[in-house]
Chains A and B, each alone.
Chain A
Amino acid sequence: MTAAPTNRSSRIAALLAPVVVVVAFLGAWQVYVAASGTDPIVLPAPTDVASALWTDRSLLLDSLWQTARIVLLGIALATPLGVAIAALVHHSPVARRGLEPLLVGSQAIPIPVLAPLAVIWLGFGLATQLVIVVIVAFFPIAVSTRDALASLSPETNLVLRNLGATGLQRLRLVELRGALPGIITGLRLGVVFAVIGAVFADATGSTATTAADPTSTGGLGRVIDDAIPQLATDRAFAAIVLLAAFSLFLFWSLGAVQRLAEPASSRPLRRTS
């Protein structure tokens, strides 16, 4: 078979491509910093960032955990909220017309404005952080779920109507499962937004968190906030690297789950022998 080597080499190429791009990017960055003599306070070299990652590993890992906790809790709340809103809007044209301005309007508020407002309303702490993350993360989930619900086969809808299925039965027996790939697409976007939200939320909520629990470091947002006035730019970059890695991990993991949720016929064929 001539297809097999091509297959294998294209798979290796697919795996190597991101590595090559990242290595090339880091190499160019390193060369630029060395050649231009840029002050590491302005732009630390990748090796400086790597060194900060190692030196401050305890602080950074603890902060990553704080941020990850907020992101995961926020997503855990935003997902059912987004799916429920999508289901409501899908089944009720009145709800759709009624909720749309509010939903879209909620997304027009910039997070840097939303974060201090949330503190004024709810004070410092976990609740405030979660509200910020949920508000930014539920929207892509709701939009993507609604589109997926609307694109289910009209014939399946006919069958369900003919069977006299209730709205809840339609959702439970058919629609939610059919919309699953779309829900996960929304989640993949939602987690990326959630990480951004969590960074802003760290800056608001963590003051109280660190006051209540002196061993807590706040999240990565707080690390960045603290590092910049201390001119520890390398530590700020190290925190950003961890944030990016965390987003990427969630994005890719959900992509793998999504492939499992798609009908078998749309997955690439595997060689059986």
Chain B
Amino acid sequence: MPGAPLLRATGLAAGFGAVPVLAGVDLEVAAGETVVIVGRSGCGKTTLLHLLAGLLSPAAGELDAEPAALMPQRDGLMPWASARDNAVLPLRVARTPRREARAAADAQLRELGLGDALGRPVSLLSGGMRQRVALARTLLTGRRLLLLDEPLASVDALTRTELHALLLRFLAQDGHGAVLVTHDLDEAVFLADRLFVLAPANPKATAAAGDSLGAMRSASDADGASAPRSRPSTLQPGPVLSGRPGQHLEDRGGRRIREALLAQLAA
């Protein structure tokens, strides 16, 4: 069962210069749950995760979150280093004694099925194995809040199916709470406790989203800029899923869910 919230965001907004990207984002994530955010490419999913990770400052709104571990879209592994040396990075940054750090990294990699690849350079590993190394590195931060940016976007369909099961096992264990963004509906439904859709806000909802966006708009108007600007995205609760994570779309609402999601994404 979900526990205390690891993250609470209210009315978050962000933009690049005068271009608003996100507005009126409300989100709460509890320990033990996986929240999946679905959105089209370019809708601001990565920006939202960077905001939640504290790598960007919000233009408006409030964020109260535990330190989060970010798993970026491309794995960000050091190609010259072994699986072990990549996974151990968070512990080295945290100044964990070398031997202890190495043992922890080895144990985590073994748990993720990489026992045979500990000393192998990651540049020689398959896409799926690299994602596992990146997941090990993320888990070894010891942080409870995990932010995963399309973690399986670059692996083939078969590997993705394997990794779904693995993610399911690790995301919810040890009191972790996770926010995962994806544009893959099946993946979203398979992994999510709760679904959200990140899509451009309709003007009425935008107006209701509060002062943040209004402030950004008037600031840009004051600059004299008159070019039409894309609408910022906002987070909307997605359809409520039946069943449990680990079940496929057909067991979690089937067509009803798919159609509801597509309708929200198209809006």
| Cβ contact within 8 Å between B80 and A162 | no
Q: How far is the CB of A123 from chain B (nearest CB, A)?
A: 45
Note all chain B residues with C-beta closer than 8 A to A162: 53, 55, 68-70
When C-beta atoms are compared, the residue in chain B nearest to A262 turns out to be B80
When C-beta atoms are compared, the residue in chain B nearest to A169 turns out to be B93
Give A264 to B78 CA distance when docked, in angstroms. 12
A172-190 with Cβ < 8 A to chain B: 173-174, 177-178, 180
Note all chain B residues with C-beta closer than 8 A to A165: 93
| Cβ contact within 8 Å between A263 and B123 | yes
Q: Is the interface of B mostly helix, strand, loop or mixed?
A: loop
Contact mask A258-273 → B, CB, 8 Å, 1/0? 0001111110000000
Contact mask B56-92 → A, CB, 8 Å, 1/0? 0000000000011110111111111100000001101
Q: Given A158-B55, A162-B69, A261-B80, do A173 and B123 touch, yes or no (CB 8 Å)?
A: no
When C-beta atoms are compared, the residue in chain B nearest to A174 turns out to be B78
| Cβ contact within 8 Å between B76 and A264 | no
Note all chain A residues with C-beta closer than 8 A to B78: 156, 174, 177-178
| Cβ contact within 8 Å between A161 and B55 | yes
Note all chain B residues with C-beta closer than 8 A to A155: 72-76
B5-54 with Cβ < 8 A to chain A: 50, 53
Interface size on B, residues (CB 8 A): 27
Note all chain B residues with C-beta closer than 8 A to A265: 79, 121, 123-124
Q: How far is the CB of A184 from chain B (nearest CB, A)?
A: 13
Size bin of chain A's contact surface: 20 to 34
Q: Given A163-B93, A177-B81, do A156 and B76 touch, yes or no (CB 8 Å)?
A: yes
A231-273 with Cβ < 8 A to chain B: 261-266
B264 at the interface (CB under 8 A from A): no
Note all chain B residues with C-beta closer than 8 A to A264: 121, 123-124
Which 6 pairs show the lowest CB-CB distances between chains A and B?
Answer: A155-B76, A265-B123, A263-B123, A263-B79, A155-B72, A162-B70
Given A153-B76, A173-B93, 15 more A-B residue pairs with CB atoms under 8 Å apart are A153-B74, A155-B73, A157-B76, A158-B72, A159-B70, A159-B72, A160-B93, A162-B55, A163-B90, A164-B93, A169-B93, A177-B81, A178-B78, A264-B121, A264-B124
> Chain A: residues with CB nearer than 8 A to chain B?
153, 155-165, 169, 173-174, 177-178, 180, 261-266
